[in-house]
Structure 1
Amino acid sequence: MSVGPIGVGVITASVTAGFGAAYLLQYLYHKRGSPGASWFMGNIAAVTVFCITYGVSLLVFDPQLRGAAEAVSFVSVCFMGPFFLAFGLDYTGRTDLIRSPLFGVVAAVPISTILLAATNTAHGLVWTDFRLTPVFGLATARYTIETWGVFALLFSVGTAAVGSLLLIGAILSYGPLYRREATAVTLSTLPPSVGVLVWLFGLGPVPELHLTGPLMLVHVALDGYAFVGTHMFETNPATQRVAEQTGLDKLTEPVMVLDTGENVVKFNERAQQLFERAQTADGLVPLSSLVGNGLSTLRETGEVEIGGPDGGIFAVSYTPLTDPSGDPVGGMIVLYDVREERQRKQQLSVLNRVLRHNLRNEMTVIQGFAESLERSLTDSELQEQAATISRAGDRLLAIGEKVREIDRMQDEVVHVEQVDVESMFARLREDLLEQFPDATIETDISVSDPTLCTRPSILELALANLTENALKHASPADPTVQLRMETVDRADRPIAIEVRDTNRRISESETAVLRTGTESPLKHGQGIGLWIVNWCVTTLNGGIEYRYDEGNRFIITLPPE
């Protein structure tokens, strides 16, 4: 039987679609590591098998061989929809659903169809009454599709529709970046779906002819447009979807969402203002074109300078983004303006210099004249006033010295090392007895191993300020302080160092800094000794507690090694 022109056209369209799908499959092979690519390869492989098998089978008039080819074509159609659904889930960042038991049920349908189709002659659950009914000179066939066959075909069409809805959601949610490609892929499912339904329900003047094969030519053309030469698999909606789940829109700082290729796929409103641009026509902007450096350089330097009216110097915070299954989908960059912070540091630096040098020099002059007046005056009241000026100068100079200690501590690079606390106590005791020769300074080590892994100079500075403060405010008749090291019932901080005196209770305004770390104009300490202690303990990642029990007790706890 000779094949008519219509028959030639059907075979040519179907086989051409098959070879086009094979080419697309080869192209996608190089993208197989991208989200969704492997699943779409499965869909295209099913299309390739169906189109070539069906096109060639139209020339096979042997009933047994024709029936076997029809079974292969039938099963291929049943795989297209589930593969397309998996592609939609993976591409839009829902890979956790693919790995769920629910998707196992989805996969079971086409797999079961293979087994049932292979054994169909024994049970007839897929089709019955297979016979050749040639039209247009083609080896077309008719048969009754049974319950499982109808279900498997409708299931394939339905899963393809769900996959299309996922892509439509990406189009609506994420703007122009995925619009052209996702639209093309979504539309590509319509022709074969229509072909399957027309054939399944025997519609049209030639129900024997499976028009899905020729219609696949449109399907492959649209997919080729979507994938070849575009960035369909260079980025994916999962990047933005995961970024939005992290609270992107709630951040007031400039935020950029990057895909795995270091392209910015989304700006928040503040970032658009900063860079004086929204997204480009296709929504894909290389990070280096915005900031002049790649991601690795930004993460290494930790900051970037950006020009423009809203520009400045920004600290860079980078957060990797992963989908629910833990696969990387890109990252999120948040920029923090550090101009105000640097200005404050500059102001503090100037104030420190004034306090360290100018105040010290001027107070030395004031003290010298006050002491000279005290010696030269004969009026006792004036002598006392001069002495008061001298004592005030001493206090200010002492504050200046403490500020110098803080400044030195901040400038030093102090490494963690093993510290013998017993030796530190002895050294502190010796230094303080030179300043307070009438004092009683007791030490008590009640642990078997008096060593700590810490920063020695910072810990010693904290202890020196606590003990000095205790002795300064002690009764002249009995200036006593105790340094004690003991174990405590805490797994996170098992060692405590206590400084204890027998003085009157320190006022609430003085000790509040240890709890809150802040001062207010109406409630503030009179000196900076406890501030130094607070800073030191914080630097050591420790904690400090104040109690009163027949004396003031300061308990410092430090983390273990």
Structure 2
Amino acid sequence: MTPGAVGLAIVVASFAASGGALYLLQYLYRQRGKSGANWFMGNMASVAVFCLAYGVALLVFDPTVRLVLAVVAFVCVCFMGPFFLAFGLDYTGRGNLIRTPLFGIVAAVPVLSAVLAATNRVHGLIWTEFQFDPVFGLATATYTVQPWGAFAFLFSIATAGVGSLLLIGAILSYGPLYRREATAVILSTVPPSVGVSLWLFGVGPVPQLHLTAPLMLVHVALDAYAFVGTHMFETNPATQRMAEQTGLDSLSDPVFVLDTNEQVVRVNGRAEERFLSPSTSPPAPLESVLGVTLGTLRETGELTLGAERGGTFAVSFTDLTDPVGESVGSMVVLYDVTEERERGQQLGVLNRVLRHNLRNETMVISGYAELLETTVDDPTQAIQAGTIAAASDRLQSIAEKAGEFDDIRERGVQPELLPVEHVVAQVVETRSAAHDDATITYTVEPADHRIRADRRILSVLLDNLVENATIHADAAEPTVSIAVTGAAEADSETRIEIRDSNDRIPEHEIETLRAGEETSLQHGQGIGLWIAYWCTRKLRGDMRFEYDDGNVLTLTI
């Protein structure tokens, strides 16, 4: 090949590298905002301008224009390395480091180098003795690189090397998922680094020729493979890095790490064992793994799978953001609630069946017992029949209360601003009608006090407490008083005190409520206190028991 042909090939390669970098820049523009994309756009812009400036410079023999083009090329090389380092930090989930004072020093080096290069004619800190030294028919030049100029070049190479080490770390940490992309980008830094080093140290038969520009063609080709061929920014290590910081591997439930495109990019051991088939490996769309989209999971909050893979799962979501608050994906955790749901269904069926049968059968028992009580001649048998009827009525009351609470339990809380006096007055009226031998009184201070609560739940709560006080009274004429106090402002705390003149409620019944469960050795005599306790919990209130010449039950809501 003739010298002229060699020179032409070098210029064409430089222009081709610039064109390729501009194409990548245009492609990356569509990925802007994703982890690392903006910084790599800066790197590609530096490459494009450098290759264009140097390619034109090889054709220009005007000293002033040639020197200006040399300054532009020098500045672009200075910025390539820091831009690549910023890309590596952001892409691997360490973008917060870019905003630290240390990185500010890194960024200051190319900025200062650009200023010094533009004013080099004054101080000569970058190079001296600039002169033409043509080779292959090109306008190549030689000059003596001064310490700051050498430092700026080496600094750019070093920062690019650190960026490459970050990508190597991603390969080692996250296996094959990012291997192809990261390897291509790492290798892409080798040709320009070699070109700069050869030129800086004057190695080779034509040291005046800066081979970095034509070697950039290989750099751009490798980057094109990484970004266009493998869609590098569709997934990135930042997603997995953020997932690790949330304790991914410490969770025993199935965990799926998703990127911003709803692709599963990582799973923990439990998820792999239960949900991934041998033919399915990350990255894979969530729908292909679980059979539903992320939107459906968010909407339902639950996942039900066939018997082959197993049951019902409650779904928890954690948004993953990088250190600067940018979204890099999400983490989905599945909690197996199959047994709980099945147990709930079984208890629901048993509850309905028992309530239905209990109500029907006790009505029969009660009817015949009352008939016997009025028709038998033997007084002892009449008393026994009355006892049976009373027991049957109590069972029927329990069945009705269980049904009442079941309705309350399934009911969503519907808070509204209620005048407390109206609610209390209705309860007193109902209980007084049911127990005409009882004296039930109430006071509300202030009289216009309002409470934000669910009317039905509050009414059931007070009704059960007042009924409990009347039916368990030993006196022939039981007395119950209700005192409501609260602040004048709406939504303030409400205190409801219910007093009776009965014997002390057995401590074991109170302990049963506090324990939250009944046992064979410790159980209440009825369901009224339990319903009151559950209603209080549903209203997010508090219940306290005291004794002062009668039971004093205080509700704070």
Q: TM-score normalised to the size of structure 2? A: 0.92
- The structural deviation recorded for 1:460 is 0.6
Aligned to 2:359: 360
Aligned to 2:197: 197
- The structural deviation recorded for 1:78 is 0.7
Distance 2:44 2:260 in 1: 25
Is contact 2:35–2:236 with CA below 8 Å preserved after alignment? Answer: yes
Aligned to 2:236: 236
Distance 1:524 1:177 in 2: 59
- The structural deviation recorded for 1:462 is 0.6
- The structural deviation recorded for 1:478 is 5.5
Instruction: Output aligned runs, 1:502-513, within 5 Å.
Output: 502-513=501-512
Aligned to 1:181: 181
- The structural deviation recorded for 1:48 is 0.9
Distance 1:518 1:216 in 2: 75
Instruction: Output aligned runs, 1:326-345, within 5 Å.
Output: 326-345=325-344
Q: 1:358 to 1:280 in 2, by over 3 A?
A: closer
Q: Which moved more, 1:354-363 or 1:549-558?
A: 549-558
- The structural deviation recorded for 1:66 is 1.9
Identity across aligned pairs (percent)? 59
Aligned to 1:100: 100
Instruction: Output aligned runs, 1:449-488, within 5 Å.
Output: 449-476=448-475, 479-487=478-486
- The structural deviation recorded for 1:399 is 1.2
- The structural deviation recorded for 1:59 is 2.4
Q: Which amino acid aligns with 1:89?
A: L
- The structural deviation recorded for 1:425 is 1.4
Aligned to 1:310: 309
Is contact 1:39–1:84 with CA below 8 Å preserved after alignment? Answer: yes
2:232 partner SS: coil
Structure 2 unaligned residues grouped into runs of 5+: none
Q: Which amino acid aligns with 2:14?
A: S
Aligned to 2:420: 421
Aligned to 1:265: 265
Q: Which amino acid aligns with 1:307?
A: G
Aligned to 2:50: 50
- The structural deviation recorded for 1:424 is 1.5
Aligned to 1:116: 116
Is contact 1:279–1:285 with CA below 8 Å preserved after alignment? Answer: no
Instruction: Output aligned runs, 1:153-302, within 5 Å.
Output: 153-277=153-277, 280=280, 283-302=282-301
- The structural deviation recorded for 1:132 is 2.5
Q: Which amino acid aligns with 1:363?
A: T
- The structural deviation recorded for 1:336 is 3.3
Is contact 1:95–1:324 with CA below 8 Å preserved after alignment? Answer: yes
Distance 2:196 2:511 in 1: 78
TM-superposition CA deviations, 1:64-117 (whole Å, max 9, x none): 222211111111011001111111122122222223333222222212221111
Is contact 1:257–1:267 with CA below 8 Å preserved after alignment? Answer: yes
Is contact 2:453–2:539 with CA below 8 Å preserved after alignment? Answer: yes
TM-superposition CA deviations, 1:203-256 (whole Å, max 9, x none): 334332222222212211111111113221112111222222222223333322
Q: 1:135 to 1:407 in 2, by over 3 A?
A: same
Is contact 2:257–2:267 with CA below 8 Å preserved after alignment? Answer: yes
Q: 1:397 to 1:280 in 2, by over 3 A?
A: closer
Q: Which moved more, 1:459-468 or 1:358-367?
A: 358-367
Aligned to 1:554: 553
Distance 1:428 1:229 in 2: 74
TM-superposition CA deviations, 1:501-530 (whole Å, max 9, x none): 233332333223544433344433332222
Is contact 2:276–2:289 with CA below 8 Å preserved after alignment? Answer: no
1:178 partner SS: helix
Aligned to 2:437: 438
TM-superposition CA deviations, 1:2-26 (whole Å, max 9, x none): 9544433333332222222122212
Distance 1:199 1:551 in 2: 100
Aligned to 1:27: 27
Distance 2:496 2:278 in 1: 57
Q: 1:399 to 1:172 in 2, by over 3 A?
A: same
Q: Which moved more, 1:238-247 or 1:197-206?
A: 197-206
Aligned to 1:394: 393
- The structural deviation recorded for 1:192 is 1.3
Q: Which moved more, 1:222-231 or 1:97-106?
A: 97-106
Q: 1:276 to 1:37 in 2, by over 3 A?
A: closer
Is contact 1:471–1:479 with CA below 8 Å preserved after alignment? Answer: yes
Q: 1:308 to 1:56 in 2, by over 3 A?
A: farther
Is contact 1:488–1:496 with CA below 8 Å preserved after alignment? Answer: no
Is contact 1:514–1:544 with CA below 8 Å preserved after alignment? Answer: no
Distance 2:255 2:288 in 1: 16
Distance 2:543 2:371 in 1: 44
Q: Which amino acid aligns with 1:12?
A: V
Q: Which amino acid aligns with 1:360?
A: R
Q: 1:509 to 1:132 in 2, by over 3 A?
A: farther
Distance 1:377 1:258 in 2: 81
Aligned to 1:350: 349
Is contact 2:275–2:290 with CA below 8 Å preserved after alignment? Answer: no
Is contact 1:517–1:534 with CA below 8 Å preserved after alignment? Answer: no
TM-superposition CA deviations, 1:450-477 (whole Å, max 9, x none): 2222210110101111111122223315
Q: 1:413 to 1:69 in 2, by over 3 A?
A: closer
Q: Which moved more, 1:23-32 or 1:272-281?
A: 272-281
- The structural deviation recorded for 1:42 is 0.6
Instruction: Output aligned runs, 1:480-559, within 5 Å.
Output: 480-487=479-486, 494-558=493-557
Distance 2:47 2:133 in 1: 24
Q: 1:295 to 1:476 in 2, by over 3 A?
A: same
Q: Which moved more, 1:7-16 or 1:34-43?
A: 7-16
Q: TM-score normalised to the size of structure 1? A: 0.91
Structure 1 unaligned residues grouped into runs of 5+: none
Is contact 1:443–1:484 with CA below 8 Å preserved after alignment? Answer: yes
Instruction: Give the 4+ runs in structure 1 shifted more than 6 A.
Output: 488-492
Distance 1:279 1:144 in 2: 60
Is contact 1:482–1:499 with CA below 8 Å preserved after alignment? Answer: yes
- The structural deviation recorded for 1:532 is 0.9
Q: 1:276 to 1:3 in 2, by over 3 A?
A: closer
Distance 1:278 1:324 in 2: 35
TM-superposition CA deviations, 1:145-170 (whole Å, max 9, x none): 23332332222112111211221122
Aligned to 1:8: 8
1:164 partner SS: helix
2:233 partner SS: coil
Is contact 2:82–2:160 with CA below 8 Å preserved after alignment? Answer: yes
Is contact 1:127–1:143 with CA below 8 Å preserved after alignment? Answer: yes
Distance 2:109 2:208 in 1: 25
Distance 2:160 2:228 in 1: 21
Q: Which moved more, 1:24-33 or 1:293-302?
A: 293-302
Aligned to 1:62: 62
1:233 partner SS: helix
Q: Which moved more, 1:315-324 or 1:80-89?
A: 315-324
Is contact 1:95–1:323 with CA below 8 Å preserved after alignment? Answer: yes
Distance 2:199 2:549 in 1: 96
1:34 partner SS: coil
Q: 1:229 to 1:513 in 2, by over 3 A?
A: farther
Q: Which amino acid aligns with 2:25?
A: L
